[in-house]
Copies of this chain bind each other. A is one copy, B any other.
Amino acid sequence: MNYLVLGGNGFIGMHLVKALCNEGHDVRMFGRRPVDSESLPENAKYITGDFTDTPAVAQALVGVDVVYHLISTTIPSSSNLDMVADIQANLVSTVRLLQAMVDAGVNKIVFFSSGGTVYGNPDSNPIQESHPLNPICSYGVVKVAIEKYLFLFKQLHGVEYNILRVSNPYGPNQQRFGVQGVIPTFLLKALKNEPISIWGDGSIERDYIYINDLIHVSVSAGKVMHNEIYNISSGIPVSINQIIEVIESITNKKLMINKLPPRNFDVQSIALDNSKAQRHFDWSPAYALREGVSVSWDWLKNNY
């Protein structure tokens, strides 16, 4: 099979590309930053390009069987600062991608949506896929709109899809500290013996998924399109205090904690119900937090 992984050079993308190549597939990667081609698996090829450059994307689609779309040019916390730019770079470019897929006869796509932003403040916990969608950031609204366009392209043009609403992934190779979640950020602080900052008393709970668990189900999601939406998560709410405890135990260091006042927009507890993905993909998360953090710590010590 020929795969195109848009955003193949990011944290999730690199793990996914390796997994697909390990299964013997040919993988084309597309991303903005140049990469060292020596570092890539043998049957992976890298194309440097901008996602808003539709002709470049169309060129990358030629001969592809399945597209993985992992690109976002924005992050939740900054997306509200320029919503129009968010719409232009992500929503418009994705609609153009879908049109280019129709033109190229490519009719399968796995889209990485956002379990952390599309639901907004939860009415219930854990959150099921049918929960109302009331994002409180433009990043989330754009993800919702893309989901709706995927449904529409299925109806109009038969483009098949799986949508993965992923919770907070973590693991080795996660490099954009401070942007991609508390676990890599806290681990780096532990390594550098610097204090961490937390808002409130540390009781706030979120859902973290270890990268190998995410990749496992992502590979399955590229094989059969169900035209469905899935929460991809551990399903387990984990508090900031639990993360600190696990990190202290694994690193054998006492973290210095800088406690800041609680933020009024932080929801107390969110976890995503992943039972639909478990049923449809015959999958379940295999890594406990302690195990995932331990592997991440080993990688960080050897690679920072």
Contacts and interface: CB of A to CB of B under 8 A. Distances in A.
Main secondary structure of the interface of A (DSSP, over half): helix
B87 A91 contact: yes
19 contacts: A80-B152, A83-B95, A83-B149, A84-B95, A87-B91, A87-B92, A88-B92, A91-B145, A130-B132, A133-B148, A134-B148, A134-B151, A135-B148, A135-B152, A136-B155, A138-B152, A141-B148, A144-B144, A144-B148
A156 interface: yes
Given A83-B95, A87-B91, A152 B148 contact: no
A58 to B, nearest CB: 14
Interface of A: 80, 83-84, 87-88, 91-92, 95-96, 99, 120, 130, 132-138, 141, 144-145, 148-149, 151-152, 155-156
A144 to B, nearest CB: 6
Given A133-B148, A137-B152, A138-B152, A84 B80 contact: no
Contacts of A88: 92
Nearest to A157: B80
Copies in the complex: 2
Contacts of A95: 83-84, 87
Nearest to A145: B145
Contacts of A91: 87, 91, 145
Contacts of A156: 80, 136
Given A136-B155, A155-B136, A92 B96 contact: no
Contact of A136 (B120, B135, B152): B152
Given A80-B156, A84-B96, A141 B137 contact: no
A141 B149 contact: yes
A92 B90 CA distance: 13
Contacts of A87: 87, 91-92, 95
Given A136-B156, A141-B145, A141-B149, 20 more contacts: A80-B152, A80-B156, A83-B99, A84-B92, A84-B96, A87-B87, A87-B92, A87-B95, A91-B145, A120-B151, A130-B132, A133-B148, A134-B148, A134-B151, A135-B152, A136-B155, A137-B152, A141-B148, A141-B152, A145-B145
A151 B151 CA distance: 22
A151 B120 CA distance: 10
Contacts of A144: 144-145, 148
A292 to B, nearest CB: 33
Contacts of A132: 130
A155 B92 CA distance: 24
